Amino acid sequence: MKPSRDRRRDDRPARHGGQDGRRQPEARPDQARTAEPAPARRQLRRREGELPAERLPLILEVAPNDDYALIDSGAGRKLEQYGPYRIVRPEGQAIWQPALSEREWAKADAVFTGDTDEEGMGRWRFPKAPLGETWPMRHDGVDYLGRFTSFRHVGVFPEQASHWDHMAGLIEAAKRPVKVLNLFGYTGLASLVAARAGAEVAHVDASKKAIGWARENQEMARLADRPIRWICEDAMKFAEREERRGSRYDMILFDPPAYGRGPKGEVWQLFEDLPALADICRAILTPKPLAVVLTAYSIRASFFAIHGLMRDTFAGMGGRVESGELVIREKSAGRALSTSLFSRWVAK
């Protein structure tokens, strides 16, 4: 994608779906396609002060566990265990050969074929027996629903577990009320883990469908009594409004797609919009913030790019910026499958 910094948020080419590569935003048929008039663009100035300390490269790994495992990978595919089901999906980065035999792969309960233009369940094949759209999953005692979605996703990005555990540790160690903002929150796993750790959470996503799934997950997790606000809105617009209103957060997570749209057609382009959103995230922190965690995927960039942005953005705030990759460690031959880049500012 070519960065073009002088274009406004409303005059970008209308494109649907995501970029090539790893995780892509869901197709959202429920969305309006007309763009909203864009607000004036934020004037970005270099923040004064010393740059935060740095720690990199930091590779955060998810190892095979009882809830989830990358069983094997290779030849452009991955074989994963999601709770009770073995699932095969395309994986462009697995350019090596599978370590396990075809017989092992043939034991899959579900295979994403991607070989038709069909939307919905049609793109999933269930070799053993037809399966329902959802199934029970669990992360570290938090119950939620796995889900066969139209775009090969299964309702969770397991590599994010590294962030969830880190975030829960910070919330618990704070021993005070903590407010968390989860932008681009999808099915809400981070929001649920934060709420279970004791935080008050604002969860924002542009997709009405994803918000619905997140609410179902809250029920599944038996966390219905926890303070989570589910907000269907454009992430940038919401953050801008929080800044104007004076709402503040102790911790912010943002996991934006390379390209996405808000519910009113607002266009999100990572290379153009990320610097402004990072700057707003800084502006809406409480005086005693804990962390700001950014993940990026499906982009042609190095973690040094988002590391540089985060260090600049948090200049003068002390703390440390840690950056690297989120990877999943394979059970069969121990290879690491890279899923995304991340950069996080931590106060301590």
Ligand X SMILES: C[S@@+](CC[C@H](N)C(=O)[O-])C[C@H]1O[C@@H](n2cnc3c(N)ncnc32)[C@H](O)[C@@H]1O
Least distance to ligand X from the beta carbon of 186, Å?
4
Measure the CA–CA gap between 329 and 312, rounded to whole angstroms.
Answer: 32
Name the residue with the smallest CB distance to ligand X. Answer: 260
Which lies closer to ligand X via its Cβ, residue 258 or residue 317? 258
Which lies closer to ligand X via its Cβ, residue 31 or residue 72? 31
Residues whose CB is less than 8 angstroms from the CB of residue 207 and which lie 6 or more positions away in sequence, other chains included: 26, 28, 30, 31, 186, 232, 263
Which lies closer to ligand X via its Cβ, residue 108 or residue 199? 199
Which lies closer to ligand X via its Cβ, residue 110 or residue 167? 167
Least distance to ligand X from the beta carbon of 109, Å?
22
Which lies closer to ligand X via its Cβ, residue 114 or residue 318? 114
Measure the CA–CA gap between 337 and 63, rounded to whole angstroms.
Answer: 11
- Our measurement of the distance from residue 312's CA atom to the centroid of its chain's CA atoms, rounded to an integer in Å, reads 22
Which lies closer to ligand X via its Cβ, residue 70 or residue 189? 189
Least distance to ligand X from the beta carbon of 345, Å?
17
Binding positions for ligand X, rule: CB under 6 A: 23, 25-26, 157, 160, 184-187, 189-190, 204-207, 210, 234-235, 255, 257, 260-262, 266, 268
Least distance to ligand X from the beta carbon of 320, Å?
22
Least distance to ligand X from the beta carbon of 91, Å?
16
Least distance to ligand X from the beta carbon of 119, Å?
16
Least distance to ligand X from the beta carbon of 301, Å?
16
Around Cβ 139, how many Cβ atoms within 10 Å?
A: 21
Which lies closer to ligand X via its Cβ, residue 18 or residue 98? 18
As given in the structure block, the two tokens for residue 291 are: 């962390």
Closest CA to 189 of 175, 203, 199: 203
